[in-house]
Chains A and B, each alone.
Chain A
């Protein structure tokens, strides 16, 4: 053991020892490059294989319908029977808070906006401002310019829009008026 220790000590001090140490040290970056090369090969292989299915079109329609059909959405509902009057929007329920409570568990890859505007005839009779509600207003406003840019690929934003006609009930007066509800969902690619 002492002989081995003495031998190693003299080896490391000598020119041959220094050369060996340097060669051993250079194996560290070689190991790192090995990891990078192998990982890159598998990444290239997997990038040519389709493993994801784009369902944003169907998903945006389902989410839009959730607001119209659900008892927790913005459609008028009978509190006694629980019946939902789809196609009749309760103006008090048409709010970001109500929409947020309905779709409270946020989907990270899709956000939406509902904009209520007067129908043409009612607009001519008396202009009323439109109203917009959001599932996630901050994220929608950040993604909107990206969606308008129309880029493709990873990180791009795709737009899915829908237009529906609905009657809007004013609970205070009990009167309904015709409205157009434009829905836009932005999905992250």
Chain B
């Protein structure tokens, strides 16, 4: 008995093709949704606002420390926030974790000097198990800005992206 393949028929071909295209469209929409979902969830949970706020807070504190006459050290408490703070290239970046992209990170500029030896590159990673807040010390010594931290790991001049 000859087997009849329904898919070879006219209606079968059209349905198969259309179904395939619909599935492909849904997969594409899902991929795009997942791409934007991360940012949307961050915005809805308020994390984007928190990161932007902390980035501006630290950047303005750096500006004030830079503007001070003489040597100064200012301690900024991260309170309950366990965000990673990067200070380099005259920008403060605040991320939820190391792998987070700049699109969802809090970013703000600060002033600094172009003098030799005064360029900063720091990454502050709060200790995950510690209940004590991370304390970021921003200082100005002999016209050069420096950064230290308590209850957090500090990477200096690391070759991070």
* A39 B67 Cβ-Cβ under 8 A: no
Q: Which chain B residues lie closer than 8 Å to A84 at the CB level? A: 69-70
Q: Which of A16, A34, A46 contacts B40 (CB 8 A)?
A: A46
Question: Chain A residues with Cβ under 8 A from B63's Cβ?
Answer: 59, 62-63, 66
On whether the beta carbons of A38 and B40 are closer than 8 Å, the reply is no
Return the chain B residue nearest A103 by Cβ.
B111
In the complex, chain B residues 57-76 whose Cβ is within 8 Å of any chain A Cβ: 60, 63-64, 66-70
Q: Mark B11-54, 1 if CB is under 8 A from A, else 0.
A: 00110011001001100110011001101100110001100110
Asked if A58 lies at the interface with its beta carbon under 8 angstroms from chain B, I say: yes
Q: Are A66 and B66 in contact (CB under 8 A)?
A: yes
| A70 on the B face (CB < 8 A) | yes
Q: Is the CB of A24 within 8 A of B21?
A: yes
Chain B contact residue count (CB 8 A cutoff): 39
Contact, CB under 8 Å: A38 / B143? no
With contact pairs A52-B52, A86-B69 given, residues A27 and B25 touching in the complex (Cβ less than 8 Å): yes
Main SS at interface, chain B: helix
Partner of B112, one of A30, A34, A62, A105: A105
Asked whether A12 is an interface residue with its Cβ less than 8 Å from the other chain, the reply is no
Interface residues of A in 8-63 (CB under 8 A from B): 16, 20, 23-24, 27, 30-31, 34-35, 38-39, 42, 45-46, 49-53, 55, 58-59, 62-63
Question: Which residues between 53 and 86 of chain A lie within 8 Å of chain B, taking CB atoms?
Answer: 53, 55, 58-59, 62-63, 65-66, 69-73, 77, 82-84, 86
The answer to whether A23 and B17 have CB atoms under 8 Å apart is yes
Q: Is A108 an interface residue (CB 8 A)?
A: yes
Which residues does chain B contribute within 8 Å of A23, judged by CB atoms? 14, 17-18
The contact of A51 among B37, B52, B69, B113, by CB within 8 Å, is B52
Bound together, the chains give a CA A55 to CA B49 distance in angstroms of: 13
Measured CB to CB, the closest approach of chain A to B56, in angstroms, equals 5
Are A31's CB and B25's CB within 8 A?
A: yes
Q: Are B43 and A46 in contact (CB-based, < 8 A)?
A: yes
Q: Are B67 and A70 neighbours in the complex by a CB distance under 8 Å?
A: yes
Q: B: which residues have CB within 8 A of A?
A: 8, 10, 13-14, 17-18, 21, 24-25, 28-29, 32-33, 36-37, 39-40, 43-44, 48-49, 52-53, 56, 60, 63-64, 66-70, 90, 109, 111-114, 143
Using CB atoms and an 8 Å cutoff, list the residues of chain A in contact with chain B.
Answer: 7, 16, 20, 23-24, 27, 30-31, 34-35, 38-39, 42, 45-46, 49-53, 55, 58-59, 62-63, 65-66, 69-73, 77, 82-84, 86, 103-105, 107-109
Q: Which 3 A-B pairs rank lowest in CB-CB distance, beginning with the nearest?
A: A66-B67, A84-B69, A42-B36
